[in-house]
Amino acid sequence: HRSPLGGRHFECFSEDPELSAELAAAYVRGLQDNGVAATPKHYVANDSETDRFTVDVRVDERPLRELYLAPFERAVEGGGAWAIMSSYNAVDGVTMTENELLETPLNSEWGFDGS
């Protein structure tokens, strides 16, 4: 379920992915314009505090891109984020620390070349 009161949403700019995306890009630019590396986290689909180290989030392509990836995309493309921190959870059966989502779309589509 998606609730602004659940999981780690209190750490987000907003439960709205478009607003979060716009604010993330501006925040990243603001930090990095002053030589401080921004590290958007937790990439990606980190909605649950319960079993957050082991939960496997099953999500279709459209909601993945429109809800979960959109703020990260803008932070990378619009903000130029130097780093990204992966989440603990798995997405579609693969933990995020070794998930293909670290390559596509992060590197190959958005041009992320950081750490």
Is residue 71 in some structural domain?
yes
Is residue 90 in some structural domain?
yes
Which structural domain, as residue segments, surrounds residue 41? Answer: 9-102
Is residue 109 in some structural domain?
no
Q: Give tens-digit pLDDT for 84-99.
A: 999 999 999 999 999 9
Contact between 57 and 45 (Cβ < 8 Å): yes
Q: Please provide the average confidence, as pLDDT, over all residues in the chain.
A: 91
Strands (E), 6-80: 56-57
**pLDDT higher than 50, residue 5:** yes
Kindly list the distances between the CA atom of residue 102 and the CA atoms of 69, 88, 97, in Å, as whole numbers in the listed order.
11, 13, 8
Number of structural domains in the chain? 1
What is the distance between the alpha carbons of residues 85 and 103, in angstroms, rounded to a whole number?
13
Q: Which of 1-10, 27-36, 56-65 has the lowest mean pLDDT?
A: 1-10
Q: Give tens-digit pLDDT for 36-56.
A: 999 999 999 988 777 888 999
Q: Report which residue type is found at 25.
A: A
Is residue 55 in some structural domain?
yes
**pLDDT higher than 80, residue 1:** no
Q: What is the mean pLDDT of residues 56-69?
A: 96
**Strand pairing category for 94-95 and 56-57:** unpaired
Is residue 111 in some structural domain?
no
**pLDDT higher than 80, residue 80:** yes
